[in-house]
């Protein structure tokens, strides 16, 4: 048995090793089992990190990128394993229609190094995957890619191409990890598209001679499945025949193959059901979500999820002036850890400071808007006195981008009272005809109204940059998912941190705190919710008119939400869950 100075490590290739391992660690000391050659491994099908060449789909990808940056700050050895997509889509408005453009990407432009190639089997062929890597201090991004890998979320969710991408990430990524000499201390599956990573682990242990059941126990104890979805029924399925072409050929151990074959029901499989089987550790992304996520294991038992609410990387999402002010007031320290008496310290934030910093934020927004014309092709620029509401999020039904437009007459009156602007920014998933129709009908209503035409703006191709610019530059953010359907949401966190007034339904991570912590939207039905929303919008504008109210509201939001928003809190929660003392 070897010791690496920090803690003993060993390949753990057979059952004796596993027993020794547990004996030596007694689990309570497992934290130390994280070492630079045995890092925390985080598997994700998407990451939103445009500086490093990754455009994600939404919150899931933002979370992945934030988690690595937080690990970097906290000094945790950490590897993100994610595909590098050689093409990405960009939405533009052409002749009044929203269209997707496809842009090729080269990893060399983003500082990645080619390590070598690994191979997976698909449809009777050997597919070569390039392994590329970008290293930071104590973290790295490890990717697999090839010229025909395609775009993120191209094709439908049960398609061959998606299965290929997921198998490539799992089996290819696992080989890549071995290639760079790393063993996973923990495998975190950021949603079920990454299931094959844990399967590759199980297969390796078993095919290297470990007893199959011991290998299952071992893999289960070291795999965390993080769920972001609410309804298992909504998830795509794959067929046995698809697995024959893409999955089974990559499994070396007959026992593992048989185990997997038994998981099919009527020739179909859901990756969530096998993720539940292979991961003893399971988490949901907010308190409410962990409670309501409706998942069953194959034996028919309801699955329990540990609530670990998402947080954000403050260094990435907070206006630098605001972050510095937080450090000066010792609300957070230089590692962005929250002070114990943060709630008292936020009382030092004054209306004058809020207004001054907001002016700086608005400058950033105006700068970004120079390259982001609205639906009429206008380049917008706002003065410090303009009041801006924003609705910035993926354009999906449950987030209800259309709710305020169900009564344009009243919406107009509300905006007119303060000459306010309403900015909508949101990407529509390629091929989502229903949401495209909804967007066009909103824009049609806006076009027909001579006031709204100049005060409601749609900005297409919502991305990281626009998310930041709107968080720092607007006054109030509107977050109105149908209650029960948002897993967590993180854009509201960016808003609270940047002194925006949050108008929200009590859902996702927002519901981790009391509904008196922000401008809450509620109602017995959607009519009532709409009434309430418009009322809250009026209140938000009135609050900005009054120093005392502004201070009170900003402090209240921060006092209640800071611990939830803190990304370091999130990573500590994960570490505490994975390695209990
Ligand atoms: C923060 C962020 C999200 C997350 O949005 P939610 O709707 O709050 O989950 C999505 N997309 C981008 C580009 C973001 O920056």
- Sequence ranges of the domains in the chain: 33-85+114-308, 332-374+387-565
Fold of the 332-374+387-565 domain: Rossmann fold (3.40.50)
Report CA-CA distances (Å) from 12 to 19, 160, 183: 9, 34, 10
pLDDT band of residue 161 (cuts 50, 70, 90) is very high
Mean pLDDT of the residues in the chain = 93
Q: Could you give the 3-state DSSP secondary structure of residue 32?
A: helix
Whole-number pLDDT of residue 10: 39
How far apart are the C-alpha atoms of 19 and 395, rounded to whole Å?
Answer: 50
From the centroid of its chain, how far is CA 68?
Answer: 12
Angle at 552 between CA 550 and CA 556, to 5 degrees: 120
Rg (CA), the chain: 24
Residue (of 517, 487, 480, 482) closest to 501 by Cα position: 517
DSSP string, 284-344: ESSHHHHHH-B-B-TTSPBPP-EE----B-HHHHS-HHHHHHHHHTTSB-TT-PBPTTHHH
**Predicted confidence (pLDDT) per residue in 63-115, tens digit:** 999 999 999 999 999 999 999 999 999 999 998 899 999 999 999 999 999 99
The alpha carbon of 463 and the centre of ligand 1 are apart by a number of angstroms equal to 8
Per-residue pLDDT, averaged over 198-204, amounts to: 97
pLDDT of 117 higher than 70: yes
Q: Looking at ligand 1, which atom is closest to the CA of residue 490?
A: 8
Whole-number percent of the chain with pLDDT over 90:
90
Phi, psi of 120 (to 5 degrees): -125, 165
**pLDDT of amino acid 230:** 84
Centroid of ligand 1 to alpha carbon of 464 (angstroms): 8
Q: Please report the DSSP string for 345-388 in residue order.
A: HGGG--HHHHHHHHHHHHHHHHHHHTT---TTSPPP---TT--E
Q: Which CATH superfamily is domain 33-85+114-308 in?
A: Glycogen Phosphorylase B; (3.40.50.2000)
Res. 312: pLDDT tops 50:
yes
Q: Which helix (H) or strand (E) holds 198?
A: helix 195-207
What is the pLDDT at residue 21? 52
Residue to probe by mutation, ligand 1, list 50, 54, 58, 285, most atoms within 8 Å of CB:
58
Q: What is the pLDDT of residues 469-500, one digit of tens each?
A: 999 999 999 999 999 999 999 999 999 999 99
**Which residues form ligand 1's pocket by a CB distance below 6 Å?**
48, 58-59, 62, 393-394, 462-464, 467, 489-491, 494
The predicted pLDDT at position 24 comes to 47
Tokens of 523: 């109602």
For the CA of 463, the nearest atom of ligand 1 = 13
In the predicted structure, residue 289 carries a pLDDT above the cut 90: yes
Please give the pLDDT value at position 60.
96
Q: What is the pLDDT of residues 320-365, one digit of tens each?
A: 999 999 999 999 998 899 999 999 999 999 999 999 999 999 999 9
Q: What is the pLDDT of residues 451-462, one digit of tens each?
A: 999 999 999 999
Mean pLDDT on 567-580: 94
The residue whose CB lies within 8 Å of the most ligand 1 atoms, and thus the one to mutate among 467, 474, 492, is 467
Dump pLDDT digits (tens) for 372-430: 999 999 999 999 999 999 999 999 999 999 999 999 999 999 999 999 999 999 999 88
Distance separating alpha carbons of residues 532 and 470, to the nearest angstrom: 23
**pLDDT confidence bin for 231, thresholds 50/70/90:** confident
- Give the pLDDT mean for 273-289: 97
Q: What is the pLDDT of residue 2?
A: 36
254-262: long-range contacts, CB 8 A cutoff, minimum separation 24: 255/206, 255/212, 256/199, 256/202, 256/203, 256/206, 256/207, 256/212, 259/212, 259/216, 260/199
Q: In DSSP terms, which residues pair with 89 in a beta bridge? A: 102
For residue 247, the tally of other CB atoms under 10 A from its CB is: 25
Helices 408-417 and 526-544 pack at an angle, to 10 degrees, of 10
Residue 458: phi, psi to the nearest 5? -105, 125
Q: Whose CA is nearest to atom 6 of ligand 1?
A: 489
The predicted pLDDT at position 525 comes to 97
For residue range 29-43, what is the model confidence (pLDDT) as tens digits? 444 579 999 999 999
Rounded to 5 degrees, what angle do the CA atoms 110, 113, 116 make?
Answer: 140
């Amino acid at each position: 048995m070897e010791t690496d100075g920090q803690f003993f490590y060993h390949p753990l290739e057979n059952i004796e090793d596993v027993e020794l391992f547990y004996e030596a660690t007694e689990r309570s000391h497992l934290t130390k089992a994280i070492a630079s050659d045995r890092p925390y491994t985080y598997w994700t099908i998407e990451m939103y990190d445009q500086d490093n060449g990754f455009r994600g789909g939404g919150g899931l990808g933002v979370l992945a990128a934030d988690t690595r940056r937080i690990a970097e700050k906290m000094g945790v050895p950490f590897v993100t394993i994610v595909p590098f997509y050689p093409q990405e889509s960009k939405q533009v408005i052409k002749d009044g229609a929203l269209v997707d453009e496809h842009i090729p990407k080269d990893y060399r432009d983003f500082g990645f190094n080619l390590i070598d190639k690994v191979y997976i089997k698909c449809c009777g062929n050997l597919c070569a995957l390039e392994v590329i890597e970008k290293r930071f201090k104590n973290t790295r991004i490890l990717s697999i890619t090839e010229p025909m890998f395609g775009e993120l979320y191209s094709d439908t969710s049960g398609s061959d191409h998606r299965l290929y991408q997921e198998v490539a990430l799992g089996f290819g990524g696992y080989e890549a990890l071995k290639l760079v000499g790393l063993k996973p201390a923990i495998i975190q599956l950021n949603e079920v598209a990454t299931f094959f990573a844990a399967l590759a682990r199980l297969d390796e242990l078993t095919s290297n001679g470990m007893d199959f059941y011991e290998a299952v126990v071992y893999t289960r104890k070291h795999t965390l499945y993080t769920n972001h979805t609410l309804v298992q029924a909504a998830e795509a399925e794959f067929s046995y025949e698809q697995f024959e072409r893409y999955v089974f050929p990559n499994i070396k151990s007959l026992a593992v193959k048989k185990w997997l074959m038994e998981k099919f029901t009527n020739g179909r499989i859901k990756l969530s059901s096998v993720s539940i089987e292979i991961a003893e550790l399971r988490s949901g992304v907010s308190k409410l979500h962990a409670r309501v996520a409706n998942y069953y294991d194959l034996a028919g038992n309801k699955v329990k999820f540990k609530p670990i609410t998402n947080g954000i990387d403050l260094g990435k999402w907070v206006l630098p002036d605001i972050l510095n002010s937080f450090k000066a007031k010792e609300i957070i320290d230089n590692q962005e850890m929250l002070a114990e008496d943060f709630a008292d310290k936020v009382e030092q934030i004054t209306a004058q400071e809020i207004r001054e910093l907001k002016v700086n934020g608005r400058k950033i927004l105006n700068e970004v808007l120079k390259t982001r014309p609205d639906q009429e092709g206008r380049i917008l620029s706002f003065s410090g006195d303009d009041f801006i509401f924003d609705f910035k999020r993926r354009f999906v039904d449950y987030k209800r981008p259309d709710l305020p437009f169900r009564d344009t007459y009243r919406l107009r009156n509300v905006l007119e009272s303060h000459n306010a602007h309403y900015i909508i920014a949101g990407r529509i998933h390629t091929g989502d005809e229903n949401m495209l129709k909804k967007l066009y009908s909103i824009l049609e209503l806006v076009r027909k109204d001579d006031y709204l035409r100049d005060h409601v703006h749609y900005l297409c191709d919502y991305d990281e940059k626009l998310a930041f610019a709107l968080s720092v530059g607007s006054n109030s953010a509107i977050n109105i998912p149908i209650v029960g359907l948002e897993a967590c949401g993180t854009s509201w966190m960016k808003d609270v941190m940047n002194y925006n007034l949050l108008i929200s339904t009590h859902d996702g991570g927002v519901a981790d705190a009391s509904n008196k912590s922000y401008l809450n939207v509620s109602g017995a039905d959607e009519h009532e919710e709409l009434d309430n929303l418009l009322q809250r919008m009026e209140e938000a504008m009135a609050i900005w008119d009054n120093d005392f109210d502004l201070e009170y509201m900003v402090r209240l939001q921060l006092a209640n939400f800071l611990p939830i928003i803190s990304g370091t809190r999130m990573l500590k929660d994960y570490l505490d869950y994975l390695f209990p003392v």
